[in-house]
Structure 1
Amino acid sequence: MMASNIELEQFYSREVEFPSPLLASHIKTAEREVHTLLAGMRSILRKNIDPSIEELIVQTGSSYEGLKVKGKMELDFMIVLFHPKFIFIPVTSDYSGYCKIKFQQEQLQSEMQSSKKWTSSSPPHSFQYDFTSDGYLIPSEIYKWFQSLADKAVNQNKSKFVRKFVGNLPARTLILNISPGVDICVDLVPAICIDRDLYVVAKPLKTSPDPHLWRLSLSVFEKKILSQHQSSCHLKALKILKYLREHDTRLEETSQFASGICSYHLKTASLHQLAQRPDTPEGLLEHLHQLMDFLIECMQRRELNHFFIGNPSSLAEKAKVPSNITHGERCLNLFDDKFVKESTLNQARERLVKIKGSLPAIIQQHSGPVAYSCNIY
């Protein structure tokens, strides 16, 4: 039995779409708390040592892209850091999508000699000493500093909403308990602007021995494209597939489609579909099937190329993505073994094939209220 477009539209409205007034209220609360936290962090910065924290917070993620679905309430902010002596060095070869940040070092030896505080029992402190090695900025050290600073600011500036901090690289997750049983998870990612809307975030590449690699973030450009296509069936289909993935463990506890594939993979696949077929007359069901088929094919080939890196397109050009990103880098395969294991990809594909084949039954099983909270481990 095939699901109809009408049934899928009803499922989207009833189960998938996050209520706009509630989302706006959560965003307002979270943004207020984040600005308060950042003000507290700025007040305890070490002068002439720590990088500065800019007033600007960069809003990213599904809640700002029009892609939020019912489930965990999560918000994503890039917290912009600055230092006047940052220099950026793009890294290609096996590390497309990453760069290094060089620091214009002053004479560290002369600093050590001139400081009366540095003794054999008291290590020297300077930006270079605390955050760099071999003249390059270390993302893990920036993250640890950011984490410690945020913890101190939370302890000093008590809030009725802030419950706790959790998190691993690259985000520090602020948990806001805004009412009994209702949490907002706010991911705070330290980032550095390298060119207008182009940022790098403190997420080292685990498969590289080089500790100095920063990951490029093109989320601002993705948000620009998605904001221009909010009425597209492509995005509705993407949100339905996101919902099915995020809640698939309710139906299959060990689902690799839920745990091995992330929402960024789905968004990337949808952007490729949008670029290839921007204006199509098909209904929502056809768009959902096309998206599933494309993703299944990518999993089979073990190849899902990043939408921007090494991939010129009219959408990227309209969003003003720097040409050195779309033309100057080779394609970055998000399904490469460095990122997703072959066994995980195979199991995720098998599960998605089953979901597509029994879509009406799957939709029927996804019913009932969903709590707007986030799990804390």
Structure 2
Amino acid sequence: MSVHHPSADAGRREIRDELLADLEGVTTSIVEAVTAEIPAYTVLAPAQLEEVGAIAAWGTARVLDAWVEGTSLDEADLQRFRGIGAARALDGRPLPVVLRAYRVAGSSVTDLVAARALDRLSVADALALARLWMASIDALSEALYAGHAAATVRISDDRELALGDLLADLVAGRHATRSAIADRSRQLGVRLPEHPLVLVATGGSLAEAGEAAWASCLAQACTTQPSSAPAPPSGLGRLTRVQDGLGLAVLPQVPRGALAAALRARGWSAVALGGHGIDDLPRAFRLAEHALTHAPARAFEARDLLDDADAAALALASGHRDADAARLHRLVLGPLGRHPVLLHSLDVYLATGSASDAATSAGCHPQTMRQRLRRIGELTGRDPRRGWDRFVLELARLSQRD
């Protein structure tokens, strides 16, 4: 929808610039007006109110720019409002409430312009702003409705597809706040673990197998647990998707043995990372995908599933943007922190390459050195006598050298 206005004079530009210079104050006024007028907004979490403020700041700036330039909201703006409408459907906020919030915001901005610059506005300026706000509210209402309706239908008609969309947004970091993700998860009837297992897998047949086979494989792994293993908390959901030939998943913590067996039976290789919070999922997926792409065959021959230490080592070795030397050292050698003798034995073994030579350097019997190497393997989960584990151990050791 186009609204044509005459070119703005310096007066409109000056008023626009003054308001944008105090955009934080303007945004605060808008949010206060919305929460005062609409009870549903008074119960929003702080993070949700921050999101309301961010949208208000963007919308205000766009409308004021259009007022100065004599234009209207463009297709990119309307697409963004469709996305906002879809997000509100996913977090369960009713559309009439959302539309009323935008009307209140529009009135609030108009009042702020009048309060600050009424004596500098011509009748044409004031009418242009009023018409622009009315046209903008009409256009964004249609866009919000379209996005909200499409998301609602998608949730109702294809919950599995909607869950896959949620995972894709988590992977890409497209979620605005933790509370928005919680609302969206609740709408879809899934509860995400606080610290999920992040899984990325590849294999020649994975893309052909498709979403259903990938989800079935993980369901089998999550339900196959040793009788001695504690049951995972009830109600924790799984998010799965096949994207760009890779299997992606966010899972509750499950025994890695069962997971590895289910993947191995299908000929799939995978990286499984744990201990990452919801906010850190984009980084975790980047590290996992990088490890899956760059790990040599011997890494998968040595380990059924590559883990956080493998991914951290590969990131550091290749200069990946998420490389973290301190984290690699902590993941791999943290258990040896109180064992200086074992650390020294590891150093001499890495330097010499054999237990006998290492024993000579350390001044101990070769059998003693072999016992120490076994103990290092028990504590770290890395056997220094295996090529890939030795690489990770040495990289972790070197990463903390002065």
Normalization by structure 1: what TM-score?
0.24
Structure whose residues are more often helix by fraction: 2
Larger Rg: 2
Higher RCO (CA-CA < 8 Å; seq separation 6+):
1
Normalization by structure 2: what TM-score?
0.23
